[in-house]
């Protein structure tokens, strides 16, 4: 550290104590476990849902069909009596 200029020893000691108190407070806050906020709790679920929505919306708007059912596409053959 830089040497303090020549001052009153009492004033210097009080200043040093204040600096130490501030450093201790900062260190204490840094090591405290913070409570989870909304993003910590629900962030990944919301991101996944938004991604699925965007993919589904894009697929429907571009005409990509995900329906693999043959209902309505397959025409039955003519029935033959024997």
Q: How many domains does the chain have?
A: 1
Would residue 1 count as lying in a domain?
A: no
Would residue 76 count as lying in a domain?
A: no
Q: Which domain, by its residues, includes 33?
A: 9-61
- Residue 1 pLDDT: 55
Per-residue pLDDT of the chain (82 residues), as tens digits, is: 566 555 567 777 778 788 888 888 888 887 767 788 888 899 999 999 999 999 988 888 877 666 666 676 777 778 777 6
Would residue 30 count as lying in a domain?
A: yes
Predicted TM-score (pTM) of the model is: 0.39
Taking alpha carbons only, the member of 48, 30, 28, 46 closest to residue 38 is 46
Per-residue b or e along 3-14, where b marks 16 or more CB atoms closer than 10 Å to that residue's CB: eeeeeeeeeeee
Whether residue 4 contacts residue 12, with contact meaning beta carbons closer than 8 Å, is answered with yes
Q: Which two tokens stand for residue 28?
A: 């204490």
Would residue 17 count as lying in a domain?
A: yes
Considering only the C-alpha atoms of the chain, give the largest distance between any 2 of them, rounded to a whole number of Å. Answer: 121
Would residue 47 count as lying in a domain?
A: yes
């Amino acid at each position: 550290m830089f040497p303090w200029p020549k001052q009153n020893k009492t004033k210097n000691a009080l200043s040093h104590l204040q600096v130490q108190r501030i450093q201790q407070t900062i260190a204490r806050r840094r090591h405290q476990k913070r409570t989870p906020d909304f993003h910590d709790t629900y962030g990944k679920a919301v991101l996944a849902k938004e991604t699925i929505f965007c993919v589904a919306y894009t697929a429907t708007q571009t005409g990509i069909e995900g329906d693999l059912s043959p209902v309505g596409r397959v025409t039955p053959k003519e029935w033959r009596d024997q």
